[in-house]
Amino acid sequence: MAADALKVEDATWDIEVMKASELVMVDFWAVWCGPCQMVAPIIEELGKEYAGKMKVRKLNTDENPEVAGRYQVMSIPTILFFKNGQVVEKLIGARPKRQFKEMIDSLLAQPAGSA
Protein backbone atom coordinates (compact mmCIF):
# COMPACT_ATOMS: atom_id res chain seq x y z
CA MET A 1 0.00 0.00 0.00
CA ALA A 2 1.62 3.24 -1.09
CA ALA A 3 1.69 6.17 1.28
CA ASP A 4 -0.19 8.25 -1.31
CA ALA A 5 -3.14 5.86 -1.10
CA LEU A 6 -3.44 6.78 2.58
CA LYS A 7 -3.13 10.52 2.07
CA VAL A 8 -5.85 12.90 3.19
CA GLU A 9 -5.77 16.67 2.75
CA ASP A 10 -7.75 19.72 3.81
CA ALA A 11 -9.76 19.42 0.58
CA THR A 12 -10.68 15.74 1.04
CA TRP A 13 -11.01 15.74 4.85
CA ASP A 14 -14.82 15.88 5.06
CA ILE A 15 -15.38 13.03 2.61
CA GLU A 16 -12.53 10.82 3.82
CA VAL A 17 -12.91 11.30 7.57
CA MET A 18 -15.98 13.24 8.70
CA LYS A 19 -18.47 11.35 6.52
CA ALA A 20 -16.85 7.90 6.91
CA SER A 21 -19.14 5.21 8.29
CA GLU A 22 -16.29 3.15 9.73
CA LEU A 23 -13.62 3.93 12.32
CA VAL A 24 -10.92 6.21 10.85
CA MET A 25 -7.36 6.45 12.15
CA VAL A 26 -5.53 9.62 11.04
CA ASP A 27 -1.77 10.01 11.43
CA PHE A 28 -0.80 13.70 11.63
CA TRP A 29 2.84 13.84 10.49
CA ALA A 30 5.52 15.85 8.68
CA VAL A 31 8.50 14.94 6.50
CA TRP A 32 11.06 16.43 8.91
CA CYS A 33 9.69 14.60 11.97
CA GLY A 34 11.89 11.67 13.05
CA PRO A 35 9.32 9.90 15.26
CA CYS A 36 6.79 10.27 12.40
CA GLN A 37 9.15 8.37 10.11
CA MET A 38 9.49 5.67 12.80
CA VAL A 39 5.73 5.05 13.02
CA ALA A 40 5.07 5.34 9.26
CA PRO A 41 5.71 1.62 8.53
CA ILE A 42 3.52 0.65 11.50
CA ILE A 43 0.69 2.87 10.21
CA GLU A 44 0.95 1.23 6.77
CA GLU A 45 0.92 -2.27 8.30
CA LEU A 46 -2.16 -1.41 10.36
CA GLY A 47 -3.85 -0.12 7.21
CA LYS A 48 -3.37 -3.53 5.59
CA GLU A 49 -4.24 -5.56 8.67
CA TYR A 50 -7.46 -3.69 9.37
CA ALA A 51 -8.55 -3.21 5.74
CA GLY A 52 -12.33 -3.47 5.56
CA LYS A 53 -12.71 -2.80 9.30
CA MET A 54 -11.17 0.65 9.56
CA LYS A 55 -9.84 3.43 7.34
CA VAL A 56 -6.24 4.57 7.83
CA ARG A 57 -5.21 8.01 6.57
CA LYS A 58 -2.13 10.23 6.86
CA LEU A 59 -2.27 14.03 6.96
CA ASN A 60 0.88 16.06 6.36
CA THR A 61 0.58 18.94 8.84
CA ASP A 62 2.91 21.21 6.83
CA GLU A 63 0.76 20.87 3.71
CA ASN A 64 -2.60 20.90 5.54
CA PRO A 65 -2.42 23.36 8.45
CA GLU A 66 -6.18 24.01 8.49
CA VAL A 67 -7.18 20.52 9.66
CA ALA A 68 -4.18 20.22 12.01
CA GLY A 69 -5.19 23.55 13.58
CA ARG A 70 -8.82 22.55 13.89
CA TYR A 71 -7.83 19.59 16.11
CA GLN A 72 -5.11 21.56 17.95
CA VAL A 73 -2.38 19.18 16.85
CA MET A 74 0.65 20.73 18.57
CA SER A 75 3.11 17.85 18.48
CA ILE A 76 3.56 15.11 15.93
CA PRO A 77 3.08 12.33 15.37
CA THR A 78 -0.46 12.64 16.68
CA ILE A 79 -2.84 9.82 15.85
CA LEU A 80 -6.55 10.67 16.09
CA PHE A 81 -9.32 8.09 15.88
CA PHE A 82 -12.66 9.24 14.49
CA LYS A 83 -16.10 7.65 14.68
CA ASN A 84 -19.07 9.40 13.08
CA GLY A 85 -17.00 12.54 12.53
CA GLN A 86 -16.01 12.79 16.22
CA VAL A 87 -12.59 12.28 17.79
CA VAL A 88 -12.93 9.25 20.07
CA GLU A 89 -9.28 8.63 20.95
CA LYS A 90 -5.87 10.30 20.63
CA LEU A 91 -2.30 8.99 20.76
CA ILE A 92 0.64 11.41 20.76
CA GLY A 93 4.18 10.37 19.94
CA ALA A 94 5.77 7.25 18.49
CA ARG A 95 4.32 4.07 20.00
CA PRO A 96 4.95 0.37 19.54
CA LYS A 97 2.57 -1.40 17.17
CA ARG A 98 1.06 -3.34 20.08
CA GLN A 99 -0.26 -0.11 21.64
CA PHE A 100 -1.92 0.90 18.37
CA LYS A 101 -3.50 -2.56 18.02
CA GLU A 102 -4.86 -2.50 21.60
CA MET A 103 -6.45 0.91 21.00
CA ILE A 104 -7.91 -0.12 17.61
CA ASP A 105 -9.24 -3.45 18.90
CA SER A 106 -10.96 -1.77 21.84
CA LEU A 107 -12.52 0.88 19.56
CA LEU A 108 -13.68 -1.74 17.05
CA ALA A 109 -15.19 -3.80 19.87
CA GLN A 110 -17.47 -0.93 20.91
CA PRO A 111 -21.01 -1.00 19.55
CA ALA A 112 -21.51 1.36 16.62
CA GLY A 113 -23.71 3.76 18.56
CA SER A 114 -21.36 4.30 21.49
CA ALA A 115 -18.93 6.86 20.15
For residue 5, count other CB atoms closer than 10 A to its CB: 11
Q: Who contacts 47 (Cβ-Cβ below 8 Å, separation ≥6)? A: 1, 6, 56
Active site residue 33: yes
Are 64 and 16 a contacting pair, CB within 8 Å? no
34-49 and 97-109 helices, crossing angle to 10° = 40
Q: Which of the residues 25, 36, 56, 103 is marked catalytic?
A: 36
- The span from the CA of 2 to the CA of 21, in Å, is 23
Q: Which of the residues 33, 46, 67, 73 is marked catalytic?
A: 33
- Residues labelled as active-site residues: 33, 36
